[in-house]
A = this chain, B = another copy of it.
């Protein structure tokens, strides 16, 4: 929840200290790979691609990101909730390319997530209840554990509660320092 805001805040903080990271949105990067290959012309088409093509694009994107010779922070979902269930944001073929050092989970209290969503009038998608949000966060932690087993990365959960964004930003900056 709010992971992009936390990332941007932390990177600003670090920039002032002379520490620089390049933030990469994994979905955007994959879309650019697909566009360059002429597979899609807009981002909505991405989800209509066959599964094997999507997986190849994930792998190619991960390979290209791994070759970048800078500090990288990849902004992505730990898992995505789909109608068919939770989908790994970083399946094995992506992890083997990226081999991250640290995996940061940005979490928020279930009740706050629920309240944020209830107050978001623009939101049209199905509402999850409290338990559904909790199950999702627990599943995220469990799959993050398997990411740690496969890659040797550390897994750190950062809490991002309402009105305390600065804390989350400072914690994230500390991890990247």
Q: Check if A130 is an interface residue, CB within 8 A of chain B.
A: no
Cβ–Cβ contact A82 & B152, under 8 A: no
Q: Check if A62 is an interface residue, CB within 8 A of chain B.
A: no
Q: Check if A135 is an interface residue, CB within 8 A of chain B.
A: yes
How far is A141 from B145 in the complex, measured between Cα atoms in Å? 9
Q: Check if A149 is an interface residue, CB within 8 A of chain B.
A: yes
How far is A146 from B135 in the complex, measured between Cα atoms in Å? 15
Q: Check if A160 is an interface residue, CB within 8 A of chain B.
A: no
Selecting from A7-15, A18-26, A42-50, A84-92, the interface stretch reads: A84-92
Question: Given the known A-B contacts A86-B156, A135-B157, A139-B141, are A150 and B91 also in contact in the complex, defined by CB atoms under 8 Å?
Answer: yes
Q: Check if A55 is an interface residue, CB within 8 A of chain B.
A: yes
Q: Count chain A residues whose beta carbon lies closer than 8 angstroms to a beta carbon of B.
A: 39
Question: Given the known A-B contacts A85-B103, A146-B145, are A139 and B155 also in contact in the complex, defined by CB atoms under 8 Å?
Answer: yes
Q: Check if A175 is an interface residue, CB within 8 A of chain B.
A: yes
* Residues on the B chain within 8 Å of A103, using CB: 85
Cβ–Cβ contact A91 & B152, under 8 A: yes
Cβ–Cβ contact B150 & A143, under 8 A: no
Q: Check if A138 is an interface residue, CB within 8 A of chain B.
A: yes
Between A and B, 19 residue pairs with Cβ closer than 8 Å are A83-B174, A84-B101, A84-B154, A84-B156, A85-B102, A85-B154, A85-B155, A86-B156, A87-B148, A87-B154, A88-B148, A91-B151, A92-B149, A92-B152, A93-B152, A142-B142, A145-B146, A146-B146, A147-B149
